[in-house]
Amino acid sequence: MSFSLERISQRYLTDSGEIVHAVEDTTIEVDTGQFVCVVGPSGCGKTTLLKILAGFLEPTGGVARANGVPIKGPSWERGVVFQAANLYPWLTARKNVELGLKFRGVAADIRASTAEACLDLVGLGGFEDKKPYELSGGMQQRTQIARVLANDPEIILMDEPFGALDALTRERLQMDLLKISRERRKTVFFITHSVEEAIILGDRVLVMSPRPGRVVLDEKVEISKKYGRLLDGKELRSTPEFTQLRDQISDTIYAGQASAD
């Protein structure tokens, strides 16, 4: 499923009566199966765009569409993964993953087999009956991803999903996510503060300016294509193309920050 943000602007009215101009006239078009990463300074409106795509927020200007249809509210077709896993502590991993299907009235046996398959997919086979407190942070995050995958969304919206994880777990989850999104041809909108993570995961990296946020750089990542196969994170990082792109993206972020100061 493709999606688009067309001339989106977002102004928030704060409790103190101040108007915060978070996003300004931003247009982004993303094709089915594309993995788009968004980077930019804190407060530039990344989460705002994700909330609009999720249907949690109606923009004050412009229109968001999924497959050409205006987004009017949340939908199972668009799954959201946040930085914190937000699992229900009294439910097992399996029951947490089943929850969305339960709300949709899916039969118990199908719920159970779907949850099992999704937990297996994220490497949590054997942990189905553990409660969140019995799982590590990385495992909880895997459970959250399994919960979203169980709904089989066409679009996955991810807000710093690996930000709180240690480097090793983060790298493992990055590779798992890449594999799953490619195999299942999901369209992914992925927010991160890590320029390296954006290049490793993205087919495309968008850089946003400081508030009011706009897209100031939109770069295709074609390093693996050039080498004729999918490179893993370590291989990718050691190519000159990676270093060049990382510097270009970082320079764009810093230049935007410097002009905002």
Ligand X SMILES: Nc1ncnc2c1ncn2[C@@H]1O[C@H](COP(=O)(O)OP(=O)(O)OP(=O)(O)O)[C@@H](O)[C@H]1O
Contact yes or no for 36/189 (Cβ under 8 A) = yes
Q: Which is nearer to ligand X, 16 or 68 (CB)?
A: 16
Cis amide leading into 212 (omega within 30)? yes
Pick from 181, 173, 111, 117: nearest CA to 142: 173
Can residue 157 be called a binding residue for ligand X (CB under 6 A)? no
Q: Which is nearer to ligand X, 22 or 200 (CB)?
A: 22
Stretch binding ligand X (CB under 6 A), from 41-49, 103-111, 116-124, 179-187: 41-49
Pick from 69, 73, 52: nearest CA to 61: 52
Handedness of CA 220, 223, 228, 231 (dihedral sign): negative
Pick from 188, 192, 204: nearest CA to 245: 204
Stretch binding ligand X (CB under 6 A), from 36-44, 93-101, 146-154, 252-260: 36-44
Task: Compute the least distance from the CB of residue 38 to ligand X, in Å.
Answer: 8
Binders of ligand X in range 43-102 (CB under 6 A)? 43-48
Can residue 164 be called a binding residue for ligand X (CB under 6 A)? no
Per DSSP, the residues of 13-68 read E-TTSPEEEEEEEEEEEE-TT-EEEEE-STTSSHHHHHHHHHTSS--SEEEEEETT
Task: Compute the least distance from the CB of residue 26 to ligand X, in Å.
Answer: 11
Binders of ligand X in range 6-25 (CB under 6 A)? 12, 14, 20, 22
Q: Which is nearer to ligand X, 52 or 115 (CB)?
A: 52
d(CA 152, CA 79): 8
Give the x-and-dash track for 169-208 against ligand X (CB under 6 A): ----------------------------------------
Which residues are near ligand X by CB under 6 A?
Answer: 12, 14, 20, 22, 40, 42-48, 211
